[in-house]
Structure 1
Amino acid sequence: MTQQTLTEPRTAQRRRRPAAPAAPPAGRRLRPRTMVVAATAWLLAAVFLLPYAQMVITALRPADELRDNTYLPEHFAWSNFVDVWRESNLGSNLRVTLLVAGGSTVLVLLVALPAAYYTARMTFRGRKLFLLLVLVTQMFQPTSLLVGLYREFYQLDMLNSVWTLILCNAAFNLAFAIWILSAYIGSIPVALEEAAMIDGLSRFRALLRVTLPLALPGVVTAVIFTFIAAWNEFVMGLTLSTVPDSQPLTVGINSFVGNYTVQWNFLFAGSIVAILPVVVLFAFIERQVVSGLTAGSVK
């Protein structure tokens, strides 16, 4: 066999290779529709971000420039954030808010996970009625129950207590957590748990090792919504906590609004301290929140 015979198949293979796709032109123009949509999106983003920019600028204004008719101050007073921490109970209010939001979230998970798992996996008499009652509880607002809650906790001598705010916030956020977790667990195939139990796991261990990791986006969704709702709660904190050191952050910020004057620089500085942790937390787990909200929508 000659060398020419060996090189012919290789030459044929090289000729059969498909040609590389042509590179897109460098000067590609955008469509008018794309430009209009992009400009509209930037305009809407600016409209929603302008109030936050104004809040940051006002938080950095000196006290003697609060009444100036200028958008930017002549001098930025970065000491406002230090002064608002020293001259108020903002540290104690932040600690109370962290305890209330964290405690409410843990309590909701401890109750909502078993309830959601049972309603998603078991068929029992009254199941639809139970789910209907869960949805009905979403109709009750904390404001309409404040008088009864205040009398009850007054008789139990539990006013100005962190546990009181934890119980109330957990009770009003429990229904949403059960609903979202039940929808997500219901979308997970039962065959996965049955296979784990055939391998020797109990139902509880199959829940921990199989179902719970798969339901993590739904759990994260319930956690973030419960945490944000407890973090932003104002009415119950104002009514059930009258001592400044035991009030949450939302109520503590309201103390900068007086009868005759408003400390705008301290008010907005405290507002930035209040919203920054929630914004950072939501930015980290945004994808899991979106996937948890769409759970069970596609079968």
Structure 2
Amino acid sequence: MAQQTVIPRPAAAPAATPAVDRKTRARRPRTPGPRTLLIAAVAWFLAAMFLLPYAEMVITALRPADELRDATYLPSAFEWANFVDVWRESHLGDNLRVTLLVAGGSTLLVLLVAIPAAYYTARIKFRGRRLFLLLVLVTQMFQPTSLLVGLYREFYQLDMLNSVWTLILCNAAFNLAFAIWILTAYFSAIPEALEEAAMIDGLGRAGALLRITLPLAMPGVVTAMIFTFIAAWNEFVMGLTLSTAPESQPLTVGINSFIGNYTVQWNYLFAGSVIAIVPVVVLFALIERKVVSGLTAGSVK
């Protein structure tokens, strides 16, 4: 009999495991749905609406003087010399230096006073504590404009007009109440057991505050710092009243000098405005990460 030839069958491919299937599906790009596209379109529209005034400010700052009244959105050429001219032909450099000193000094003074005051108020149940917090909140309701006459008279008698220290003290005084109020809430939300454990390990009250409580309250500290810095940076009325010399005025008052009785130097006005917002943008870029890191820092010994 003839021998039968057996042809081997090809081996079947192994079935894909569920893990491989999940990885393959995860690598495939997902097609966004109509709802996602609508939300993205609305978000981009709102972002464009908020960024459009800043774009107009930069374009006007770079517009030549003979094209300020043209109906075109973009100028024929960008005049970069506007930034150089506004820096040379005015006291904008001195105004920027004064504003940096006033905003930085006011923020530092507020934090030095508000942190101990808020910590004592949050931890020590003294008599009149609620009344103290109420008075702190009431002082936040006073407008600096209503006190300008008295402040001007006081600093005039002390011969402290046209002084950076005068603006630092005034800005710190008007922003101190908010800082104490918000820091008291943050300190009250932190459990006292963490400080007690640290003091059992040998730390004192000040050490527990600096190493345990303060890092946990860093989001509140950063919030108070940003609020104080921005408020001092944008302050106008006190700077206009208490500083009369052009070189001792803050940046907000210095920019206002480009608005005359009959003409407005729009290119210089917007160039100074662009210079004024750069430090604030840099501050937010540097501090934004501190808010997140302060939520977990200090809780692990």
TM-score (norm 2): 0.87
**Pick aligned residue for 2:169 from 160, 167, 170:** 167
Within the candidate set 72, 75, 90, 2:74 is matched to 72
Match of 1:100 among 94, 99, 102: 102
Residue number among 136, 141, 157 corresponding to 1:155 in the alignment: 157
- Residue 296 of structure 1 corresponds to none
> Quick one: distance in 1 between partners of 2:67 and 2:87?
21
Q: 2:276 maps to what in 1?
A: 274
AA of the residue aligned to 2:207: R
Q: CA deviation at 1:33?
A: 2.0
C-alpha separation between the residues in 2 aligned to 1:204 and 1:25? 53
Q: Is the 8 A contact 1:238 1:247 kept in 2?
A: yes
Structure 1: where are the runs of 5+ without partners?
1-14, 294-299
What amino acid is the match of 1:19? A
Instruction: Name the CA distance, whole Å, in 1 between partners of 2:110 and 2:134.
Output: 19
SS state of the match for residue 160, structure 2?
A: coil
Once the two structures are TM-superposed, the CA of residue 19 in structure 1 deviates from its matched residue by 3.3
Which residue of structure 1 lines up, in the alignment, with residue 10 of structure 2? none
Rounded Cα–Cα distance in structure 1 between residues aligned with 2:284 and 2:237: 23
Distance 2:65 2:19 in 1: 70
Aligned to 2:19: 19
Letter in 1 for 2:270: F
> After TM superposition, what 4+ stretches of structure 1 lie above 6 angstroms from structure 2?
290-293
Compute the displacement of 1:123 (Å): 0.4
- Whether the 8 Å CA contact 1:84–1:266 is kept in 2: the answer is yes
Maintained 8 Å contact 1:220/1:292: no
CA distance in 2, matches of 1:248, 1:242: 10
Distance 2:246 2:294 in 1: 37
Distance 1:199 1:141 in 2: 47
Find 1:209's aligned residue among 208, 211, 215: 211
* Alpha-carbon distance, 1:25 to partner: 8.2
How big is the shift at 1:29?
3.3
Q: 2:230 aligns to what?
A: 228
3-state SS in 1 of match to 2:213? helix
Change (3 A) 1:150 1:290: farther
CA distance in 2, matches of 1:292, 1:227: 19
Q: Deviations over 1:68-115 (max 9, x none)?
A: 111101011111111110000001001100110011011101110111
1:48 is matched by which residue type in structure 2?
Answer: F
- CA 1:52–1:40 in 2, change beyond 3 Å: closer, same or farther? same
Deviation at 1:38, TM superposition (A): 1.3
What CA distance in whole angstroms lies between the structure 2 residues aligned with 1:25 and 1:203? 54
For structure 2, the 5+ residue unaligned runs are 1-14, 296-301
CA distance in 1, matches of 2:30, 2:97: 55
Q: Distance in 2 between matches of 1:272 and 1:265?
A: 11
Residues 136-145 or 90-99, more deviating: 136-145
Superposed CA deviations along residues 33-73 of structure 1, whole A, max 9, x for unmatched, are: 22222111111111111111010000001111111111101
Contact 2:95 2:251 in 1 (8 A): yes
Q: 1:36 to 1:120 in 2, by over 3 A?
A: same
Which residue in 2 is equivalent to 1:48? 50
SS in 1 for 2:19: coil
Q: Which amino acid aligns with 1:34?
A: T
Q: CA deviation at 1:288?
A: 4.2
Q: Say which one has the larger Rg.
A: 2
- The match for 1:138 among 137, 140, 146 is 140
Distance (Å, rounded) in 1 between the aligned partners of 2:203 and 2:209 = 9
Match of 2:259 in 1: 257
Identical aligned residues as a percent: 81
Partner of 1:6: none
Scaled by the length of structure 1, what TM-score is found? 0.88
Q: How far does residue 26 in structure 1 lie from its aligned partner after superposition? A: 4.2
> 59-68 or 161-170: which moved more?
59-68
Which of 36, 61, 86 is equivalent to 1:34? 36
